[in-house]
Amino acid sequence: MSKKCSVRSLSDSALAELANLLVSTISYVQYAPDVHLDINIVMVELNEYLAQSGATSNIYQDLLRVILSSDYLDANMRFTCLQMLLNCGVTFLVTEVFPFSYYEKILQVIAAQGAGLRVLNIKGIWVKEEHMHYMYEIVRRCKQLVKLYVPYIANDQLLEEIGKCSTRLQILDISGETDITEIGIDVLAKGVCCQSLTVVDVGMPGEENICHSDIALILEHCPQVETLSTYSFVGAALKFIYDNVDDRFKCRLKYVHDTGTDESALHVIMSTCPRLETLYLDTPKTGCLRALHTRTLRKLKIYKFVVAELLPLLERPIGRNLRHLTMIKGTGNLELGKLARLCPSLIDLDCYMIDSLSYGQAHAKFQQLEGLEILSSAIMTSSLKAFLCNSTDLKRLAVDTVEFTDEDIMSMFVQHDFKVLEDIWFTLAPELTVQAVELLMDSCPELQSVGQLTGWSLTPDDLALIRGLLKSGNSSIVLTPNGFLA
């Protein structure tokens, strides 16, 4: 049988109780018709109560996390709690989403009370130009910042302030559509954080809204940078340095995302990134893959490619070392047994929009495969069944369309031991009934979620029956009627 719902921890229960106490007290003061108290005085008294009760900085942080992320509290209540709980001992803050009318007040509170912050994430606050001066003040006052997430709002002046004040900054998110130019990037790259930055999220995936020569400044002057995760033209930036600055240049990049890569650009990537672990090639040019030679690569993602070009690459040591492989829009047939022979150490395999996949019963099998996704890729039912029966160590399985019957589920999941399978996802499975759900629940002891049941042959009564059985047995399985697995 499936796992049972775990008992809520004492710390979580106590935190929820304390948060409810604070919220209910503030709500009573603000909205009770017969109460006329100054909310500012009440907030002071509540803080005194927390201090006298021995509340630590971690408790203040956890209270802020629980309250600010709540889907049930209105913006005014969440803002009041932010105003009350943020103090110099709090080191971690995620603002979450607020209406525009609260932006200025939230920024004022952070600037005035957030001097101790080491991590600040304001993804839910879309700061406009008229409020940017508060952001500059926050950067000046929060000198302990190690991680700063400010996507879609960065401009040159903000980068200048970061370059002047953020001596400890390691992770910076300035991704999205922004007003950044070469001027701001140059100041940042040569600023006080140039030796500490390891992650810079900049630009938008698929769009060169920031010139590769500007990104080259970061790579040239920030020697500890390991990833530019949202920038899709890293190869062009590296080639700019190689061709115009230093043909012996080396960097610490562990992740590279490049678009339209040709053989010379891939050669430069190999030469300049000796520590490369993850590579994403978007629409590589024909013949460029032969320049890929590295023993450090663990993850490969490739979009718009020819299967016949990829397989010879995987015959080299690179194939034996790969742990994660994502293939999107591949032309030709991919024989999964051959892939298992070339990449025996794969943990995750994702196949999206591959022309065709095939597998034979006697073919090689993956020894460590834990995650499998096959979406919009043609594969015969017999091949899929044979492959799954040889992949019993799977933890995550997702296939968009299957022609399995209840008898197929019996032959695969009951007769073979899927002892660690946690998530199973068939988007469209018109032949599977409530019996298939029951078989999966009974035969997969670690099962946590089953979906997408609206694409199965289940009636509302069937779903109600299964949910009733799960509830009565305290099962932790989640039935997903629609949407996608997280």
Asked if 162 and 180 count as a contact pair (C-beta separation under 8 A), the reply is: no
The b/e string for 148-180 (b: 16+ C-beta within 10 A; e otherwise) is bbbbebbbbbbbbbbbebbeebbbbbbbbebeb
Q: Lay out the sheet containing 324-331: strands in order across.
A: 255-259, 278-282, 299-306, 324-331, 348-352, 371-375, 396-401, 423-428, 449-451, 478-480
Which band of pLDDT confidence, cut at 50, 70 and 90, is reported for residue 335?
A: very high
Distance CA 320, CA 300 (A): 12
Q: Comparing 38 with 174, which gets the higher pLDDT?
A: 174
In terms of Cβ atoms closer than 10 Å to its own Cβ (0-12, 13-18, 19+), residue 18 is middle
Is the pLDDT at 32 greater than 80, yes or no? no
pLDDT tens for each residue of 254-263: 999 999 999 9
The residue type found at 271 is: S
Give the pLDDT confidence of 44-96 residue by residue, as tens digits: 999 999 999 899 999 999 999 999 999 899 999 999 999 999 999 999 999 99
Question: What is the predicted pLDDT for the residue at 30?
Answer: 82
pLDDT-above-90 percentage for the chain: 80
Residue 1, pLDDT score: 57
pLDDT surpassing 80 at residue 3? no
Distance CA 145, CA 482 (A): 40
pLDDT per residue as tens digits for the range 443-472: 999 999 998 888 999 888 888 888 888 888
β-bridge mates for residue 429, sequence order: 456
Task: Give the mean pLDDT of the chain.
Answer: 92
Tell me the two tokens of residue 462. 């069937």
Is beta strand 348-352 parallel, antiparallel or unpaired with respect to 371-375? parallel
Residue 201: pLDDT band (50, 70, 90) is: very high
CA angle 382, 385, 388 (to 5 degrees): 150
Residue 45 forms beta bridges with which residues?
none
Is the predicted pLDDT of residue 483 greater than 70, yes or no? no
Tokens describing residue 56: 């630590």
For residue 481, is pLDDT > 90? Answer: no
**Kind plus residue range of the DSSP H or E element containing 379:** strand 378-379
Helices 234-244/263-272 angle, 10° precision: 80
pLDDT at 36 over 80: no
- How far CA 19 is from CA of 54, 108, 205, in Å, comes to 15, 23, 39
pLDDT, tens only, 221-231:
999 999 998 99
What pLDDT was estimated at residue 207?
Answer: 86
Can you give the C-alpha Rg of the chain in angstroms? 27
For residue 7, pLDDT over 90 is answered with: no
If pLDDT is split at 50, 70 and 90, which confidence band does 398 have? very high
Per-residue model confidence (pLDDT) at position 486: 37
What is the DSSP code string of 424-453? EEEEEBTT--HHHHHHHHHH-TT--EEE-G
pLDDT at 249: 96
420-452 burial string, b = 16+ CB within 10 Å, else e? ebbbbbbbebeebbbebbbbbbebbeebbbbbb
pLDDT band at residue 485 using 50, 70 and 90 as cut-offs: very low
Q: Indicate whether 212 pLDDT > 90.
A: yes
Average pLDDT over residues 124-145: 93
User: Residue 53 and residue 51: Cα distance in Å, rounded?
Assistant: 5
Q: How confident is the model at residue 2 (pLDDT cuts 50, 70, 90)?
A: low
Task: Collect all residues with Cβ–Cβ distance below 8 Å to 139 and sequence separation of at least 6.
Answer: 145, 148, 158, 161, 162, 165, 166
Of 19-23, 156-160, 481-485, give the lowest mean pLDDT range.
Answer: 481-485
Element (H, E) at 394: none
Q: How confident is the model at residue 211 (pLDDT cuts 50, 70, 90)?
A: very high
Query: What pLDDT is recorded for position 35?
Result: 73
Bigger pLDDT: 429 vs 462: 429
SS3 state of residue 418: coil
Is residue 324 predicted with pLDDT exceeding 50? yes
**Band (332; pLDDT cuts 50, 70, 90):** very high
What average pLDDT score do residues 293-309 get?
94
All structural domains of the chain with their residue ranges: 395-481
Residue 479's pLDDT band (boundaries 50, 70, 90)?
A: confident
The 10s digit of each residue's pLDDT in 83-131 is: 999 999 999 999 999 999 999 999 999 999 999 999 999 988 988 888 9
CB 272 within 8 A of CB 279: no
> pLDDT value at position 205?
86
Q: Where are the beta strands (DSSP E) in 211-355?
A: 255-259, 278-282, 299-306, 324-331, 333-335, 348-352
